Every structure is written in C-alpha cells, then in structure tokens.
Homo-oligomer: A and B are copies of this chain.
C-alpha cells in the first residue's frame, strides 16, 4: 500500500517519503531515487510527524549504497542501523514509548558439509585450492556456504555438483556444529549431510578444487590431519554407522506453513525413522 501523500505546511508543500505498511504496524521506506539531502530532511521530518499521528510503530528506511550521502541525515534524526548488505543499508526507528519489538538482525552464517557414500564403501573427497587446508594435501568432504533463501538439503546437493560434478540426492542431516565468533561477532552453523550418489564420474571445478576422488574410509581416517581433527573423526564414525544402517539422522519433511507469505512450505528436519516406528505420528510420511 503506497502512502505517498503531499500536504501543505506553513510555508511549502512538502512531499512525504514513499512508504508501504509492514505487517507489524510499521512502515518501510525504500528509497530508490537520488535525493538532495535538504529536500530529504524536510520530507523525512514531515513523514515522521505524519506516522506518529497515524500511530505507526517501527519506521524502516532502506538506503541503497548510491544514497550514502543521506546516511548521516537519517542518523541525526535518531535512527540507528539494523542491517546492511553490499548494496544497501537498513536504518530503523521505533516511535512508541513501549519497548521495541523490532526483529533481531541475522546472527548466523550457515554452512554444509556433504558425506557422499557409495555402496562400495567409498566416500567423495576433495582437496581445496583456497582456505586453511590449501596446499596441505588434506582430503576433505565437499563443503560450502548456504545461500540466502536456500534450503540446507538443496545446498548440500549443489555444493557436491559444483565441486565434483557428481549428482547426488539428499538423505538426511547427520549432525551439526555451532561455532561462535566465526567472523567478527557472528556465529556459524555447519550441517553435516548424508547424500546418496546418483552418478560417479568426477569432473572437478577448476577454480576452487585442486583434486577430487572417491576414497575408502580407512584411507580417509589414516590421514594425519584426520587423526587430530575431532570433526574428521566424527565424519569417519558417521560413515561407518551409516554404512551399517545403524544411524538415524534428521530427514527433511515438507511442512505446511502457517505463514501465508511463504512461496513453498518450509522443511522440518527430524528423526522420521524413530517417529514412524513408534506409530505416534499424526503427520504425513515422506
């Protein structure tokens, strides 16, 4: 809903900033056009007065990086930073006198590691051209960062395909690790996923991958680095229990969403083997 009005003040006709209502009683200003900072400050003050009278709560101002000249002005009006992406800065202000219920900023980066195991008990491993294992000769599982709006199960499949050319299907999350201060004050969630290969021919990615191959688990475990790293030990353990079919991780279950703004229902990851074996489930089996 656009809220782009004009009203006549004592001296001039001052335009209000273009704004849309959000779902929580607030407004979002998404400035796209360059604006002189003097014109902008008049419009911002008139708009704030208008929103206060209208009982609005949070006021969001999204400034593209091209409008960096307006950041100081917005801050001087009492706004603070909420989050930033490479090409924009989001500022926010809370009008009511009550405690602000603005959503927290994102705190975690999410990564995936893919354990891809064949029926011949071989796992897919790579050597990387960058990162802290570069040049060490260490064979590791394919890993990568989950993109914005990407499902964990989809990210694992994508990373395997990108790094090695191997097609695979997602089976389950077998473990995850939470690390703090991964970069600045942010944290990291790393999901170890188990995948079933659908093709076996390796075509490695040139940019990031030094080498890729199928390797036996004893060979993986025998690497000096793997003997020191608790993560590598966990990976080796998980390979063995998965091959013996003795380990239930969390499968992805498509869940109907209670939020109408979703494009598709979100995934819930859970131990469906135990759940279905118990006979207690009221939800659908995948």
Contact = CB atoms under 8 A, between A and B. Distances in A.
A70 B281 CA distance: 58
A243 B266 CA distance: 27
B69 A72 contact: yes
A151 interface: yes
Which secondary structure characterizes the binding site on chain A? mixed
Nearest to A185: B148
Contacts of A88: 81
A81 B75 contact: no
A200 interface: no
A32 interface: no
A19 to B, nearest CB: 15
A103 B234 contact: no
A235 to B, nearest CB: 11
Interface stretch (A114-122, A160-168, A267-275): A267-275
A286 interface: no
Interface stretch (A2-10, A38-46, A245-253): A245-253
Q: Copies per complex?
A: 2
Given A99-B207, A149-B185, A174-B270, A234 B255 contact: yes
Given A106-B106, A130-B101, A237-B281, A80 B86 contact: yes
A226 to B, nearest CB: 10
A274 B84 CA distance: 42
Interface string A166-210: 000000001111111111111101000000000000000001000
A145 to B, nearest CB: 5
How large, as a class, is the contact surface on chain A? 35 or more
Interface of A: 65, 68-69, 71-72, 75-76, 80-90, 99, 101, 103-110, 130, 145-149, 151-152, 174-187, 189, 207, 228-231, 233-234, 236-238, 240-241, 244, 246-250, 255-259, 261-263, 266-271, 274-275, 277-278, 280-283
27 contacts: A69-B72, A81-B88, A81-B89, A83-B83, A90-B184, A103-B182, A104-B109, A105-B106, A107-B109, A107-B146, A107-B147, A110-B189, A148-B185, A149-B181, A149-B187, A175-B250, A176-B269, A177-B267, A180-B263, A180-B266, A181-B261, A181-B262, A231-B258, A234-B283, A241-B278, A244-B280, A249-B271
